[in-house]
Structure 1
């Protein structure tokens, strides 16, 4: 359901994955891409991730904030919550990396959605690399 809602806003799974991989430095791109896809699909079915993404969607609709005002922090909090929920405390570093660089689709999205999707990407990428490190 949430994927269909995001898709209606031009936010497809493929665009999210491409954005996640835009900051990836490594030579196992296809392997990482498939792992990221699996993690993302799994977490897009998680009710907590769905709720936070839906909150960002509704906030964009109700607040209609075109720019990202300096005093707006609620968008960051949603992104941080999603990132840490999926990837733990280490995902916080990835969130700020994606939030600062704004690769791919993130630079096109309004304030609440860019941080929510950025947090989703950061959490998923952190989880993928954590799982890869555990497997050696």
Structure 2
């Protein structure tokens, strides 16, 4: 089964990730941003390193039970940070904490490992997108 199918089986679709990302977007050309973000997300969903980290989060949710999101659990944050920084560099760390704190859209409904992994994915993709904003037509 492909990663996107596994995410969808957990209630995480590409559309929901795009909606979540755009919920905190402040700026013009939202339609253009969403289109470029979708391309960025699809590119990184095909990256073996991103796939590995997202799969780790999926497997942890399936096989490692925790009650709620305990404050002493940091492995979930480390997965999210790793994904964000891998895609968007150190600047993505700030976006990750923004999404992690606000928990917009689908993030508010996900268990601890997945909310941070998907939050890191969204943050990394948004950061990557705006790093190259000067190249936009």
Task: Indicate the TM-score class for this superposition, using the shorter chain for normalisation.
Answer: over 0.9
CA shift digits 1:32-69 (9 cap, x unpaired) = 00000000000000000000000000011111224100
Cα distance in 2, alignment partners of residues 54 and 71 from structure 1 = 22
1:10-25 matches, within 5 Å, as 10-25=11-26
User: Structure 2: how far apart are the matches of 1:13 and 1:64?
Assistant: 26
1:49 aligns with 2:50: yes
Encode CA deviations 1:65-107: one digit per residue, 9 max, x unaligned.
Answer: 2410000000000000000000000000000000000000000
The aligned runs of 1:56-135 (5 Å cut-off) are 56-135=57-136
Which is worse superposed, 90-99 or 125-134?
A: 125-134
Q: Within the alignment, does 1:35 sit opposite 2:36 as a pair? A: yes
State the match for 2:4 in structure 1.
3
Runs of 5+ in structure 1 lacking a partner?
A: none
Give structure 1 regions of 4+ aligned residues with deviation exceeding 6 angstroms.
none
**Distance in 2 between the 1:130 and 1:69 partners?**
34
Q: What is the TM-score when the length of structure 1 is the normalising length? A: 0.97
Q: How many residues matched?
A: 136
Given that 1:66 and 1:110 are in contact with CA atoms closer than 8 Å, whether structure 2 keeps it comes out as no
